[in-house]
Structures are given as C-alpha cells and as structure tokens.
Amino acid sequence: MTRDIAVVAFAQTDVLRTTDELSEVEMLMPVLHSVLDRTGLKTADIGFTCSGSSDYLAGRAFSFTLALDGVGAWPPISESHVEMDGAWALYEAWTKLLTGDADTALVYSYGKSSPGSLRDVLTRQLDPYYVAPLWPDSVALAALQAQALIDAGDTDESALAAIGVRSRRVATLNSRAQLRGSLPQGDYVVRPLRTGDCPPVGDGAAAVILAAGARARELCSRPAWIRGIDHRIEAHALGVRDLTDSPSTRLAAERAGAFERPVDTAELHAPFSSQEVVLRKALRLDDSVRVNLSGGALAANPMMAAGLVRVGEAAARIHRGESDRALAHATSGPCLQQNLVAVLEGEPR
Amino acid sequence: MPEVLKAPLVVEFPFTRSLGPVQSAFLTGLRERVVLGVTTTDGRTLVPPVEYDPVTADDLRDLVEVGSTGTVTTWAWNHAPRRGQPLTTPFAWVLVRLDGADTALLHALDAPGPDAVHTGMRVRIRWAGERTGAITDIACFEPYDGEPAELTGSTGEFADPVGGIVAAARLDYTYSPGRAQTAYINSLVDRRTVGERCPSCRKVYVPPRGACPTCGVPTAEQVEVGPRGTVTTFCIVNIKAKNLDIEVPYVYAHIALDGADLALHARIGGIPYDQVRMGLRVEPVWTDGARYPDHYRPTGEPDADYDAYKELL
C-alpha cells in the first residue's frame, strides 16, 4: 500500500540561552498544545507519537519518559522515542503511517543544553576507544572540517563569515531565533572558526503533526506532502572520511527524490558556517534556491530539535503558500556524520 | 514566586570496555611504541584500525605496522584547551596520516602557535612516559622534519596484550528541577508535602512535575496533602543495599497520602516487617536536619477500606 503523508502543522518554542525556571516537560507542553490547536486534534485523536531527545543533555537517565507527561500518556498511547534529533523521530512516524497502522502522528523533540557544557557533553557521542578519551569538542571537530574546506579551496574565512552574517540577518524575521541581526564575527573559538561561525547554545522544543491522505486535507488547507525522505550515515572514523564532502547527504537526497526537479526552498541543518558550504555542494543548491530563510542553525540550534525545526520551517512555508517544493535537511553527530533529507511539496494553487 | 532551585550535578562513569582482537593489538602496540594498522580487502591500510571495513563491512584482521611519523591532513588551532584534552597549553588538533597508512588519526599537535602549523606538515609521535595501552599513550604529535621513522618489525603479537580500557568520563551540570518541583522541595523544608491539582481531571499529583500525565495539560494549583496516608502496596526487602544503613528485612511501600491521587514510595518502620499490610494507616517520621521523612510508621488508626485506595494501586 502506498499512502501520501504530509506535515500538516508545526510549532516551536522561542530558543533561549537558559530556561532554568522550566523543567523539560514544562518547556515542551506549550509547543504540544500549539501544534494540536492548529489542527483541532486532541491527544486522544493521535494515532502514533514519536519523540527525539538525549539524556546526555540533562545528565539523567530516561529523562525523556518525564516529558511524556506532556502528551497525556494515560490511558496508554502508541509511542516511541529516538535518542536523536526529532527529524529521525519524524522518519519513524512516517514509516508508521506508511504501514497504515495510524493516520496521524505527533512528532516532538526538545533539548535543554543549558544545564551542562555542551561542547564537553557532545564528546560522549564519539568513538570511546580512540577519540573520546582525547575530549575533542564539537567546535574543534567542525574546525578540522572547516580547515579542510579552506585547504581544498572551497571557501575562506571571509566567505564563512558572510554565511554567519546572512543567517543572523534573515533571522530578524524569525521571532523564535536566538541570535538575530547584526552581530560581530567575534574571536576564534577553535581556529579557523570564530564565534560567528558557530551556533548559539540554547534550549528549545519543536513539534509537528503528520497525517495521511484525506486526513491531511481535512486538517490543513495546503498540506506539505512528503514526496521522499531518507537518511544515511558516514563511516564512524573521521580520518576515513573526506570532510570536504557529504556523500551521505547526497545519497539521502537522491533517494528522497531531491534531484528529480529543482526545489525553490531549502532548510539546511548546518550548525557551523563551513557545513553550509559542504551541504550546498552535496545538494547541488545554486543561488536560485532560497536557503535557510529562517536563519538556520546559526541563528538557533536547540539540540535534538534543530533538525525537526528544519522540516517544520520548510513545511510551514508550503502551508503559507511561500514555497511549492522545499528540501529539508537534518544532521546529527560530528562533522555532518548522519544526514536526513526530506522533499516536501504543496499541491498546485 | 521564589527562585527556582539549582544544584550542581556531576555524572561520572568509568566504563570498562573490552577490546576486540584488532583494537587490542593496536592499543597494546601503542604501549610498546608500535603503531599498527589493518589492511582492507582492497589493499588500503586503516589507521587507527577497525575490525570491520567501513565500506564493505568485511571482517578485518590483517595487522600491518606503520610509521610513527606522518603528514597532517587537516588541523585546527585550539588556543584554550579544555579539561581532559591531551595538552594543557595551546595546541593544534590534527588529523595525521601516518607513513604507510591511507587514513588519518585524530590527535593533538604540540606547536608554538598557529603560524607553525599547516596542512601537509610532517610530524611524529611523542610517546607518553607511562603507557598503559590506550590512545593517550600517544602524548601528542610534534613537528618533525627528519626521515620517515623506521619500523620496528613488529608482527602485532605482544606478550600480555591489553584486553580492555577504562573509559573514564565526567560531565558537570547545573540541575534545576523547574518550577513545580522547586515548590515541592521548598515545602519539605517546613515538613509539608505539596502536590498540584490538574485543572481538567482534578487529580492531585505528588510530587508535582508541572503537567498532568493523563490530560497533558499544565498544573499550577498547589494542594497540601498528608501528612498521614495509606499503604497501597508494599514489598519486603531482604538484600542489604551497599552503603545503606538499614537492617534487612525491611518494608518498602507505596503510600497514598491523604488528599493525593498518586502514591509516593517510602520505607515503613515502627512495625515488624511481616505485619505491614495493604490499607495500613501511616504517618511520616522526621529526623532532625532531614530534608524528607526518614520513614513512615503506623498511626494506630483502623485500616483504610480497600475501596478508599483501590484507584491508587
């Protein structure tokens, strides 16, 4: 059975440097209510719920189970969780809807980076035998990739700076973004990356609702149909990979059908300016494509939600009639290790 | 509203990890100042070596020695070293392709400054003084302009190979329980227990977490519950927990505090363990300076009717 599945609603929080006064579920709940309100659905109407988050951000085991209080998990619901960005939870929900077991799905994800030191926390996702004992932080690894790009002649420091500037300038139109407007490029964090090349560290949450076929049309006047979605992973060891390229992104895009026809809009999850260079190349995006009108991850990068936000932002543009065919990309792991690409389309108006 | 509570939270985990044959040979080699790679079926040499080919997923077992000198393939200048990193003075992160290898190893390069580092520069391993069979047996790399290092002739067979590593890690957090749990903890200071009532289903949750898990809506209305309550269910603990100064056997119970719609759990004292029963009425026993009840003891009231607590089992 093939079914058409669409993103029918999207909501996100403001992304903030700290949210001490809120527990994770307290941060998440307004987003859940907002996305449900947009469709008129109640928790009990949802066929499948899938979430993405990471215990390492909170420093507590099974912290995601507490967030389930926010979805009304009693009486029991059909539910799943991925220890990843919510874009991968969306992928699981999409496959669930494809099977016909459910007609609607609620996908949410959240991350509070503020309790810990994110650069240190992220070292724990690295190879525990050869890499993690050296504690290379997330900026250091991205900086190795940036230098490789500079050495290859793919970019230079001023071109990277321009990416950061453009992202934060367009983010002035995105009230949810954490960094907006004119900001100094700043000092080196790990050379060649400066503050302006790096994402802000922040807390935030996002949610989308997926629906299949006729149900999607009932819930949304212009559903963002998922025409294709795929995710791929690179070799584990950084030294095995060509850091100037992202073959996993290219393959995911190919399998998602991204190259069959041009897209007009792309939301790329590029936490570092240098990674936008890699992704534009892998996805063959030229200047005719509007890239990261939201400001992208350089303006707001809530861990575990930023990838789902990319899908949501792309879908919302289709909902509003501002895009007809959009590409959304999400990443996870160091130096674009894992990549997901979705192609979304609105019906002709 | 009072300030939200905050406290330091340290997570430390000394994971003991076992090694496969290739990882064991590689890390034992480092202990002996030998660098080993592994050869793939298409003839490439991977350093550091892995046990499965990242392209074909073939088993890889053919070890080959490579040089302790090599070439930087990319780098990044780290002017502010962080805890746990290989050097405490500013250094470059580098990917180094050792002589004889086709892939690169991540490590640190000790150099006077960023101007002294470039892609393509020649480097060599600086060995750690004390080596245990770990990636940190390479203290770091250092600039080197001599001939490629000679191989030791190692076959990859060592006496007393290392079988595992201890991957110690520590992460520091500032934990904040949020608004609802802050109110709960603050009320315990006055030896009161405060829950929150759901505006929709009217149930009182304790400890409150700011949300009703049934309705999925925020809770805000504070309700004092207890101090007395009813044992809804219990178990008898027969094994002494490490560092716990309680004689076994003892009883651990779920207690529905009066006015609460969710049971808390606590130890029962003041009654022989084999006389605890469902429906037993109990009250908290506080000790001086404690931040929560030490245990609950019988009140002497008649047992509660089953119907009074059956919804809370």
Check whether residue B197 and residue B65 sit in a common domain.
no
Q: Exposure of A283 by Cβ count < 10 A (0-12 exposed, 13-18 middle, 19+ buried)?
A: buried
Q: Which residues of B touch A137 (CB under 8 A)?
A: 82
Check whether residue B209 and residue B239 sit in a common domain.
no
Q: How far is B294 from chain A (nearest CA, A)?
A: 25
- Residue B114 has its nearest CB partner, among A128, A191, A237, at A191
**B109: nearest Cα among B80, B87, B82, B130:** B87
Check whether residue A309 and residue A193 sit in a common domain.
yes
- Which residues are CB-neighbours of B244 under 8 A, at least 6 positions away? none
Q: Which residues of B touch A58 (CB under 8 A)?
A: 173
Of A172, A192, A219, the position where a domain reaches its end is A219
Q: Exposure of A75 by Cβ count < 10 A (0-12 exposed, 13-18 middle, 19+ buried)?
A: exposed
- Residue B176 has its nearest CB partner, among A115, A134, A148, at A115
Q: Which residues of B touch A68 (CB under 8 A)?
A: 213
φ, ψ for residue A45, nearest 5 deg: -85, -15
Between the two ends of chain B, the Cα-to-Cα distance in Å is: 34
Say how many CA atoms lie within 13 Å of A202 toward its Cβ: 23
- Residue B74 has its nearest CB partner, among A72, A132, A151, at A151
Nearest CA in chain B to A24: B178
Q: Is A237's CB within 8 Å of B78's CB? A: no
Check whether residue B249 and residue B297 sit in a common domain.
yes
Q: What is the pLDDT of residue B2?
A: 60
Check whether residue B130 and residue B83 sit in a common domain.
yes
CA-to-CA distance for B206 and B264, rounded, in angstroms? 7
Q: Is B76's CB within 8 Å of A143's CB? A: yes
- Residue A177: count other Cβ atoms within 10 Å of its Cβ: 25
**Interface test mutation site (partner B, options A17, A24, A122, A129, max chain B beta carbons within 10 A):** A129
**Interface test mutation site (partner A, options B1, B102, B170, B171, max chain A beta carbons within 10 A):** B171
Q: Which residues of A touch B104 (CB under 8 A)?
A: 238-239
Q: Does A70 contact B at CB distance below 8 Å?
A: yes
Q: Which residues of A touch B30 (CB under 8 A)?
A: none
Check whether residue B89 and residue B24 sit in a common domain.
yes
In chain B, the number of structural domains is 3
Q: What is the SS3 assignment for chain B?
A: CCCCCCEEEEEEEEEEEECCHHHHHHHHHHHCCCEEEEECCCCCEECCCCCECCCCCCECCCEEEECCEEEEEEEEEECCCCCCCCCCCCEEEEEEEECCCCCCEEEEECCCCHHHCCCCCEEEEEECCCCCCCHHHEEEEEECCCCCCCCCCCCCCCCCCCCEEEEEEEEEEEECCHHHHHHHHHHHHCCCEEEEECCCCCCEECCCCCECCCCCCECCEEEEECCCEEEEEEEEECCCCCCCCCCCCEEEEEEEECCCCCCEEEEECCCCHHHCCCCCEEEEECCCCCCCCCEEEECCCCCCCHHHHHHHC
CA angle B269, B195, A16 (to 5 degrees): 125
Give ipTM to 2 decimals: 0.95
Check whether residue B16 and residue B159 sit in a common domain.
yes
> Residue A271 has what DSSP assignment?
S
Check whether residue B146 and residue B255 sit in a common domain.
no
Residue A179 structural domain = 118-200+225-346
- Residue B201: count other Cβ atoms within 10 Å of its Cβ: 13
Check whether residue A104 and residue A157 sit in a common domain.
no
> Residue A72 has what DSSP assignment?
T
Q: What is the pLDDT of residue B253?
A: 97
Q: Which residue bears the tokens 């002017």?
A: B79
Q: For chain B, which residues score pLDDT lower than 70?
A: 1-2
Q: What are B61's two structure tokens?
A: 């077992």
Nearest CA in chain A to B55: A235
Q: Is A130's CB within 8 Å of B135's CB? A: yes
Check whether residue A58 and residue A157 sit in a common domain.
no
Of A165, A185, A219, the position where a domain reaches its end is A219
Check whether residue A287 and residue A258 sit in a common domain.
yes
Scanning A212-271 for CB atoms below 8 A from B yields 235-240, 243
Check whether residue B120 and residue B245 sit in a common domain.
no
Check whether residue A113 and residue A137 sit in a common domain.
no
Alpha-helix residue ranges (DSSP H) falling in chain A: 24-39, 55-58, 63-67, 86-98, 118-121, 138-151, 157-170, 213-219, 247-255, 273-282, 306-319
Q: How far is A285 from chain B (nearest CA, A)?
A: 26
**B196: nearest Cα among B177, B175, B180:** B180
Q: Is A146's CB within 8 Å of B76's CB? A: yes
Q: Is A236's CB within 8 Å of B179's CB? A: no
Q: In this structure, is residue B105 part of a structural domain?
A: yes
Q: In this structure, is residue B262 part of a structural domain?
A: yes
Check whether residue A159 and residue A282 sit in a common domain.
yes
Check whether residue A324 and residue A277 sit in a common domain.
yes
Check whether residue A12 and residue A86 sit in a common domain.
yes
Check whether residue B273 and residue B233 sit in a common domain.
yes
Residue A278's domain is classified under what CATH number? 3.40.47.10
Check whether residue B128 and residue B267 sit in a common domain.
no
Q: In this structure, is residue B279 part of a structural domain?
A: yes
Nearest CA in chain A to B172: A116
Q: Is A26's CB within 8 Å of B78's CB? A: no
Q: What is the pLDDT of residue B219?
A: 93
Q: How far is B22 from chain A (nearest CA, A)?
A: 12
In chain A, the number of structural domains is 2
CA-to-CA distance for A78 and B95, rounded, in angstroms? 45
Residue B25 structural domain = 7-167
**A15: nearest Cα among A340, A266, A298, A327:** A298
**Interface test mutation site (partner B, options A25, A57, A63, A243, max chain B beta carbons within 10 A):** A25
Q: In this structure, is residue B214 part of a structural domain?
A: yes
Q: In this structure, is residue B182 part of a structural domain?
A: no
CA angle A286, A148, A158 (to 5 degrees): 60
Of A156, A186, A219, the position where a domain reaches its end is A219
Q: In this structure, is residue B174 part of a structural domain?
A: no
Nearest CA in chain B to A72: B216
Q: How far is A323 from chain B (nearest CA, A)?
A: 33
Q: Which residues of B touch A190 (CB under 8 A)?
A: 76-79, 93
Check whether residue A124 and residue A269 sit in a common domain.
yes
Q: Which residues of A touch B174 (CB under 8 A)?
A: 114-116
- Residue A23 has its nearest CB partner, among B103, B167, B210, at B210
Check whether residue B92 and residue B37 sit in a common domain.
yes
Check whether residue A99 and residue A207 sit in a common domain.
yes
Using CA atoms, how far residue B54 sits from A128, B49, B101, B150, B220, in Å, is 17, 11, 15, 29, 53
- Residue B241: count other Cβ atoms within 10 Å of its Cβ: 9
Q: How far is A168 from chain B (nearest CA, A)?
A: 25
Check whether residue A70 and residue A158 sit in a common domain.
no
Q: In this structure, is residue B179 part of a structural domain?
A: no
Nearest CA in chain B to A134: B85
Check whether residue A309 and residue A206 sit in a common domain.
no
Per-residue pLDDT of chain A (349 residues; tens, 9 = 90+): 589 999 999 999 999 999 888 889 999 999 999 999 999 999 889 999 999 999 999 898 888 888 888 898 888 899 999 999 999 999 999 999 999 999 999 999 999 999 999 999 999 999 999 999 999 999 999 999 999 999 999 999 999 999 999 999 999 999 999 999 998 999 999 999 999 999 999 999 999 999 999 999 999 999 999 999 999 999 989 999 999 999 999 999 999 999 999 999 999 999 999 999 999 999 999 999 999 999 999 999 999 999 999 999 999 999 999 999 999 999 999 999 999 999 999 998 7
